[in-house]
């Protein structure tokens, strides 16, 4: 019996040690689920503040209750460290590190490479290594595996490697972590079986695929599908604007069809950790194969233009009120990329602020989840949604539909409202103040 065969038994008995590299919005929930399933889990992160927070039984992720972290740390099942030497003790290591884009829109796999180097230094027989960071097809096979094989250990005999994309949707109250099916693809059939076995302990459904490349492509397809359809919704919004139609009415009516239509809505642009980034990973990969991903490139162009459209429309609305953009008081409602989260990564609000600031507007923002914001040449702190702040603004621009905001009050007190999210759809009075995307 090989060490990998023994690992399968240790997983079944909940005796396998689980490691998670990267304790962000993906890694911490995953580590917590393994701990709740009875495993001893160690989280690894370079951020000492995150490690300290976990040790104190706290949470810095909005979807992760501090009480659950405290319960698992108190029981000795969950711990965190900045000491990557402890990777040698782990039987299963999940890599959940960021994969952003460079300034030139190329994939940045430096965090993955750093993690695999940390693993390579401590690699031993009997370990299962699972990459979960979103990346282009071939990353696991072409970058991850060769470095590990430099140790002299044999893939599929001494150690196992698989890829399993994360599918976490921040602030989603309907689908908890374990309810979302987990896709896994290994470098060998045994690798797939071991990854499916370990994830089967914390996910209700596991979906094995034939290879790590297939699993990588699954993730990119999911978010490319969303990016392209959001691009279509945004273009329909622009068309409806030209035609003098209400795009929200059109989309809601189309969504009444019980088959053949899936509802996507327009907005001020794409934001977050996945949708603006993942299609670019796929497009980049295909360019290396002399293939032009035309749908992706067109959707990227349309979605990328939306912040400029919003800023231009703000100027047009101010002009209708005989107010110059230069010096105008513009209050942004929401700077996070989606409702009820604090994440500002790739948020279109940042581009809208930057564009209006460049035109001389006096921009402020209210966001219940973001305390302060700093971008190129501009910084600000969250302002209260007071009567004075609303009534003194020349225009209020809704960029994120956070819950808990009284939209009726906002419209009543504001001079002019530009709603890019249809947040004011239920407002009955003072609708003459509202302009929509």
Q: Give the up-direction half-sphere exposure of residue 351: CA atoms within 13 A in the CB hemisphere.
A: 19
Least trusted range by pLDDT, from 265-274, 308-317, 360-369, 389-398: 265-274
Q: Look-up: residue for tokens 């000492």?
A: 48
Q: How far apart are CA 409 and CA 417, in angstroms?
A: 12
pLDDT at 276: 86
pLDDT at 98: 93
Q: Which is the catalytic residue, given 96, 191, 240, 274?
A: 274
Least trusted range by pLDDT, from 78-92, 94-108, 111-125, 390-404: 94-108
pLDDT band at 413 (very low <50, low <70, confident <90, very high): very high
Question: What's the mean per-residue pLDDT of the chain?
Answer: 95
Of 99, 36, 433, 436, nearest in space to 241 by CA: 436
The answer to whether 54 and 78 are in contact (CB under 8 A) is: yes
pLDDT at 354: 97
- Is the predicted pLDDT of residue 170 greater than 90, yes or no? no
**Which residue spans within 115-263 are E strands per DSSP?**
127-131, 159-163, 182-186, 206-209
Structural domains present in the chain: 3-210 (3.40.50.720), 230-436 (3.40.50.720)
- Is the predicted pLDDT of residue 205 greater than 80, yes or no? yes
pLDDT at 216: 97
Find the helix or strand (DSSP H, E) in which 283 lies. Answer: helix 278-287
274 is catalytic: yes
pLDDT at 343: 92
Pairing of strands 434-436, 329-333: unpaired
pLDDT at 394: 98
Assigned token pair, 196: 């499916």
Rounded (5°) CA angle 232-169-119 = 115
Q: What is the pLDDT of residues 171-198, one digit of tens each?
A: 888 888 899 999 999 999 999 999 999 9
- Is the predicted pLDDT of residue 105 greater than 90, yes or no? no
pLDDT at 272: 85
Q: How far apart are CA 404 and CA 331, in angstroms?
A: 18
Q: What is the pLDDT of residues 243-300, one digit of tens each?
A: 999 999 999 999 999 999 999 999 999 998 788 888 998 999 999 999 999 999 999 9
Average pLDDT over residues 5-12: 94
**Which residue spans within 38-134 are E strands per DSSP?**
40-44, 78-81, 92-95, 127-131
Residues 6+ apart with CB under 8 A from 70: 57, 58
Provide the whole-model pTM.
0.92
Q: What is the pLDDT of residues 369-381, one digit of tens each?
A: 999 999 988 999 9
Q: What is the pLDDT of residues 330-356, one digit of tens each?
A: 999 999 999 999 999 999 999 999 999
pLDDT at 176: 87
Beta bridge partners of 81: 44
pLDDT at 106: 87
Q: Look-up: residue for tokens 């948020």?
A: 347
- Is the predicted pLDDT of residue 22 greater than 80, yes or no? yes
Assigned token pair, 393: 């603004």
Q: How far apart are CA 245 and CA 248, in angstroms?
A: 9
Of 227, 435, 436, 399, nearest in space to 307 by CA: 399
Assigned token pair, 94: 């999940």
Per cent of the chain over pLDDT 90 is 92
Q: Look-up: residue for tokens 């990854």?
A: 195
- Is the predicted pLDDT of residue 151 greater than 80, yes or no? yes
pLDDT at 297: 94
Count Cβ atoms below 10 Å from residue 188 Cβ, excluding itself. Answer: 17
């Amino acid at each position: 019996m090989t060490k990998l065969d023994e690992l399968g038994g240790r997983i079944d008995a909940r005796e396998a040690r689980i490691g998670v590299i990267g304790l962000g919005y993906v890694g911490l929930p995953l580590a917590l689920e393994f701990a709740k399933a009875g495993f001893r889990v160690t989280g690894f992160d370079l951020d000492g503040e995150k490690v300290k927070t976990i040790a104190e039984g706290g949470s810095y992720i909005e979807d992760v209750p501090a009480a659950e972290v405290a319960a698992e740390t108190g029981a000795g099942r969950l711990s965190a460290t900045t000491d990557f030497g402890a990777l040698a003790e782990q039987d299963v290591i999940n890599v959940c590190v960021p994969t952003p884009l460079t300034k030139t829109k190329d994939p940045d796999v430096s965090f993955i490479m750093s993690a695999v180097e940390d693993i390579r230094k401590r690699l031993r027989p009997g370990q299962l290594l699972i990459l979960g960071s979103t990346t282009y097809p071939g990353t696991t096979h072409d970058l991850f595996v060769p470095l590990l094989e430099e140790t002299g250990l044999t893939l599929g005999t001494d150690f196992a490697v698989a890829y399993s994309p994360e599918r976490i949707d921040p602030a989603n109250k309907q689908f908890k972590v374990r309810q979302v099916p987990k896709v896994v693809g290994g470098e060998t059939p045994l690798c797939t079986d071991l990854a499916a076995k370990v994830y089967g302990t914390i996910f209700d459904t596991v979906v094995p695929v034939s290879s790590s490349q297939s699993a990588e492509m699954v993730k990119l397809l999911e978010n490319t599908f969303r990016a392209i359809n959001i691009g279509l919704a945004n273009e329909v919004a622009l068309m409806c604007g030209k035609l003098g139609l209400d795009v929200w009415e059109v989309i809601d009516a189309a969504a009444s069809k019980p088959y053949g239509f899936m509802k996507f809505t327009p907005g001020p642009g794409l934001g977050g950790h996945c949708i603006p980034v993942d299609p670019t990973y796929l497009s980049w990969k295909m360019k290396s194969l002399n293939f032009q991903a035309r749908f992706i490139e067109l959707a990227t162009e349309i979605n990328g233009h939306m912040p400029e459209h919003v800023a231009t429309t703000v100027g047009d609305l101010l002009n209708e009120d005989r107010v110059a953009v230069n010096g105008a008081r513009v209050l942004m409602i929401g700077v996070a990329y989606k409702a009820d989260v604090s994440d500002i990564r790739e948020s279109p609000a940042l581009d809208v602020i930057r564009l209006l600031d460049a035109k001389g507007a006096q921009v402020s923002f209210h966001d219940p989840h973001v305390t302060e914001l700093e971008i190129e040449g501009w910084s600000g702190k969250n302002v209260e949604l007071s009567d004075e702040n609303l009534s003194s603004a020349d225009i209020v621009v809704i960029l994120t539909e956070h819950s808990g905001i009284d939209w009726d009050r906002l419209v009543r007190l504001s001079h002019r409202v530009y709603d890019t999210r249809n947040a004011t759809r239920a407002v009955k009075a003072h609708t003459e103040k509202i302009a929509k995307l």
